[in-house]
Structure 1
Amino acid sequence: MQDPTRPNAPQDRLARLQISGRPGLAEKTVRQADLDLLANAPAGFLDTTHFDTVRFPPPPWADEVFARAARDGALAYTGYRGHPDILKTVADTVGTFVGIALDPERNVILTPGTQGGLFASLGALVQEGDRVALMDPDYLFSERIIRFLGAEAGHVPLRLDADDPHPDFDVLEAEFAHRGARLFVFSHPNNPTGAVFSEAVIGRIAELANRYEVTVLVDELYARLIHEGSFTHLAAQPGMFERTVTLLGPSKTESLSGYRLGVVVAPAAIAMRIENVLTITALRAPAYAQHLLTCWLRDDHAWLAERIAAFSALRTLTNHKLRQLPWLKLKPQRGTAYAWVDASALGLPGPVVAEALLTEASVLVSPGYQFGPASGGHFRVCYARDEAEWSSALDRTVRTLDKLANKRALSGWIA
């Protein structure tokens, strides 16, 4: 039995969650840096780490569908994978969306949020001592779960400097061919950058996965939040369905995060393993909330078009305001409602920049250190916010960053 007085012992799973060694954090872990940042938060600060679900509420049918299901107590319990009628609907709508035929009994699992789907999927795929290739930057909790399960993350840089964003394929192939990674994990569109990969890039990932017989977990939570152009699903590529786990859900674009719904699409053998993990964590997705998925991807296309238009206008506003600082690097991407801001020209540690924005501009950002070892000079903001409130917050952000730059220029540090 683990000695509770030794919380940092190697065998302590919770100790594995503490990611350290990020540039700019000195001896702090990522978690401690986050806690220290929030300790200085002023009253009434604007939190840009998530979507504004007041300005962007769920579709109008959400409350009605949920209330109708909740009035029928017979719907309180479902099988672990979900209600059979809902699984059939989801298999049809998601299958059409992704471009593959899905068996509702073998290929689809409903989970308590996409986060629950991520944990159950990694729990089913990752063994103690494994090496997992992970995009850098990418969603923080992917690495934390990988570490919790006793595996090691091999970071694959995301190249944004070209017109066609892509993982560093030399590093990715080395992970498969020489470093023992049998699983590749990435978000698409990428969280935090919003990058959307071209058909050629997705095709190259598929070619490498097939050649080296690697399984891929792709988090497509933002696959509907595309500002322009098309979106290519990895699972629909030749030879990829049997080695791809796809995560989807309505929590962000559709503002249904409070209903805790996620969808996992996987080949039958992997789906069985994921179901086994789900049985020892949450049992099932919230039973009444599952019924919202009968409308998702089916009855909301006109509503979605209006929402994307609003997000795109906010993307333009964000770009316009932040580009007032010529030294700031910002390359808006085709997906998500996130802006990935490169403030590395300041030459300041990420926590210093984030704290200045919080205490002086009253804006909480997501510091780059959360998303990978190569992103210390960056920060992420979510611009899915009330337009007037966000415009004012951007003005405060620009003034604070400009003030920091002027201080650094006087000392000869600003690039």
Structure 2
Amino acid sequence: MDTIAAPILKRSQRVIDLQLPERADIAPPSVRQADLEVLAEVPEGFLDTTHFDTVQFPPPDWAIDRFAQAARQGELAYTGYSGHNGVLETVAKNVSRFLDVQVDPKRNVALTPGTQAALFSVLASRVDAGDRVVVMDPDYLFTARIFRFLGADVAYAPLVLREGNYEPDLDLIETEFRDRGATQLVFSHPNNPTGAVYSPEIIRDMARLAVKYNVGIIADELYSRLVYDDVPFSHIAAEEGAFDLTATLLGPSKTESLSGYRLGVVVGSEATMQGVENILSVTSLRAPAYAQHVLGGWLGPDEAWLQERIGLFAELRQQTIKRLSGLEWMTFHPQAGTAYLWADVRALDRSDVEIGKALARDAEMLISPGYQFGPGSAGHFRICFARESKGWATAMDRMVDVLEGLRR
């Protein structure tokens, strides 16, 4: 009997581009395939430093209560694309105070299934194939992947290290706006992966450039509540003339450990919200309807809880800095935000994939390799220190042993 060959399904070029094959020199043959190679090395029970530990740092107690109360009311199962009207009113009130701008619940805010969906919805509604867009390097991995999916022409603006702080190269960004026709500027703030919090002066200058050249802004401020030592945080949407250009992305998934509830918030002009609604209508329809009601306790009512949590993160931050400072060949510059540490390990003279595999296999630890965050970010890696203190100390000992072995 003849064997019937398995059918081969066509993959769209969009899916191939989504894997970022253009970074093959630092992540062969593509970012996605390199990730899979590293993942193949992790043993059972490995420590995943790519995200926050939601066991050690669970959501606030009120989250599940608010969710359960909503779930008991079947009429709340469906909402408009932007979200439940009552929740939108509460979120708009709290966001207005947080951003220091007036936010209308009917015109300026939409809820999404996670900040990832917020990012995709805004980018998909603003960007056409061939559009020139500017992204920081390093910055959040999926921004570049979404742009490649959309067929955008991506320009990377490397962060510059000045006096221990990572900062955008404003001259380069202006060149992209003025001479190369860039239509959008996208950045995370605080920066993911470095944790950099940009000074009020830098945020003001970025806003002025965007207003001058009529460039759209997407500011991913997912970590904007996780800032240490009373460092001032400026929201670009509040700068003169910037609100109508800016889509601000917020959410409770990280600092508040609410990732499992899949909640994101987009704040911007009425035109931005119309675009987001259109994308939601053909993707997810709405943020999880019962989970939306959890946002009633977020961004204001939970301030005391937030300060306690930031204090715990600050202790882990110092623990991490102290332990890794013993590696004289490793360079890192702790920044003022997030629960991440961005390490420069170029002195190892090893590829990101090789380092990732060694740490997975021998330290039983999964890290986020530098190639994920930008074409100029090879030779670095990101770790999340939001973990249980004693277990984290033991894990760092294993990591140091493996890295020292690679150094030798």
User: How high is the TM-score relative to the length of structure 1?
Assistant: 0.94
Does residue 193 (structure 1) correspond to residue 194 (structure 2)? The answer is yes
8 Å contact kept, 2:165–2:333:
no
8 Å contact kept, 2:27–2:352:
no
In structure 1, the partner of 2:212 is 211
Indicate the larger mover: 170-179 or 129-138.
Answer: 170-179
In structure 1, the partner of 2:113 is 112
Aligned residue runs from structure 1 range 233-382, under 5 A: 233-382=235-384
8 Å contact kept, 1:324–1:398:
no
Q: Equivalents in 2 of 1:295, 1:311: separation in Å?
A: 21
8 Å contact kept, 2:37–2:357:
no
How big is each residue's C-alpha offset from its partner over 1:78-134, in whole Å with a ceiling of 9 and x where there is no partner?
A: 111011111011000011001000110000000000001011110111111111100
In structure 2, the partner of 1:409 is none
| Paired amino acid for 1:65 | R
Aligned residue runs from structure 1 range 86-235, under 5 A: 86-228=87-229, 229-235=231-237
Q: Equivalents in 2 of 1:247, 1:160: separation in Å?
A: 25
8 Å contact kept, 2:27–2:371:
no
Q: Equivalents in 2 of 1:143, 1:77: separation in Å?
A: 32
User: How many positions carry a matched residue from both structures?
Assistant: 401
Q: Equivalents in 1 of 2:21, 2:161: separation in Å?
A: 25
8 Å contact kept, 1:23–1:369:
no
Paired residue secondary structure (1:165): strand
In structure 2, the partner of 1:35 is 36
Q: Equivalents in 2 of 1:14, 1:354: separation in Å?
A: 24
**Alignment CA distance shift 1:179-1:47 (3 Å):** same
Q: Which runs of 5+ in 1 are unaligned?
A: 407-415
Residue 6 of structure 1 and its aligned partner are, at CA, apart by 5.4
- Pick aligned residue for 2:397 from 379, 395, 398: 395
Q: Equivalents in 1 of 2:108, 2:379: separation in Å?
A: 41
Paired residue secondary structure (2:159): strand
Indicate the larger mover: 134-143 or 19-28.
Answer: 19-28
**Alignment CA distance shift 1:189-1:26 (3 Å):** closer
8 Å contact kept, 1:134–1:186:
yes
Paired residue secondary structure (2:23): coil
8 Å contact kept, 1:244–1:266:
yes
Q: Equivalents in 1 of 2:27, 2:264: separation in Å?
A: 36
Residue 28 of structure 1 and its aligned partner are, at CA, apart by 1.1
Paired residue secondary structure (1:61): helix
Does residue 52 (structure 1) correspond to residue 53 (structure 2)? The answer is yes
Q: Equivalents in 2 of 1:375, 1:401: separation in Å?
A: 18
In structure 2, the partner of 1:16 is 17
Sequence identity, in percent? 54
Q: Equivalents in 1 of 2:27, 2:269: separation in Å?
A: 43
Q: Equivalents in 1 of 2:318, 2:223: separation in Å?
A: 19
Paired residue secondary structure (1:52): coil
In structure 2, the partner of 1:411 is none
How big is each residue's C-alpha offset from its partner over 1:320-361, in whole Å with a ceiling of 9 and x where there is no partner?
A: 011111110011110000000100111111111111111111
Q: Equivalents in 2 of 1:314, 1:46: separation in Å?
A: 16
Residue 163 of structure 1 and its aligned partner are, at CA, apart by 4.0
In structure 2, the partner of 1:74 is 75
Indicate the larger mover: 265-274 or 247-256.
Answer: 265-274
Q: Equivalents in 1 of 2:25, 2:353: separation in Å?
A: 7
Residue 383 of structure 1 and its aligned partner are, at CA, apart by 0.4
Paired residue secondary structure (2:185): strand
8 Å contact kept, 1:24–1:350:
no
Indicate the larger mover: 248-257 or 353-362.
Answer: 353-362
8 Å contact kept, 1:184–1:216:
yes
8 Å contact kept, 1:164–1:198:
no
8 Å contact kept, 1:23–1:373:
no
Residue 25 of structure 1 and its aligned partner are, at CA, apart by 3.5
Residue 168 of structure 1 and its aligned partner are, at CA, apart by 1.1
User: How high is the TM-score relative to the length of structure 2?
Assistant: 0.96
| Paired amino acid for 1:282 | S
In structure 2, the partner of 1:404 is 406
Q: Equivalents in 1 of 2:9, 2:155: separation in Å?
A: 31
**Alignment CA distance shift 1:23-1:314 (3 Å):** farther
Q: CA RMSD of the aligned region, Å?
A: 1.4
How big is each residue's C-alpha offset from its partner over 1:288-307, in whole Å with a ceiling of 9 and x where there is no partner?
A: 00001111013211111110
8 Å contact kept, 1:24–1:349:
no
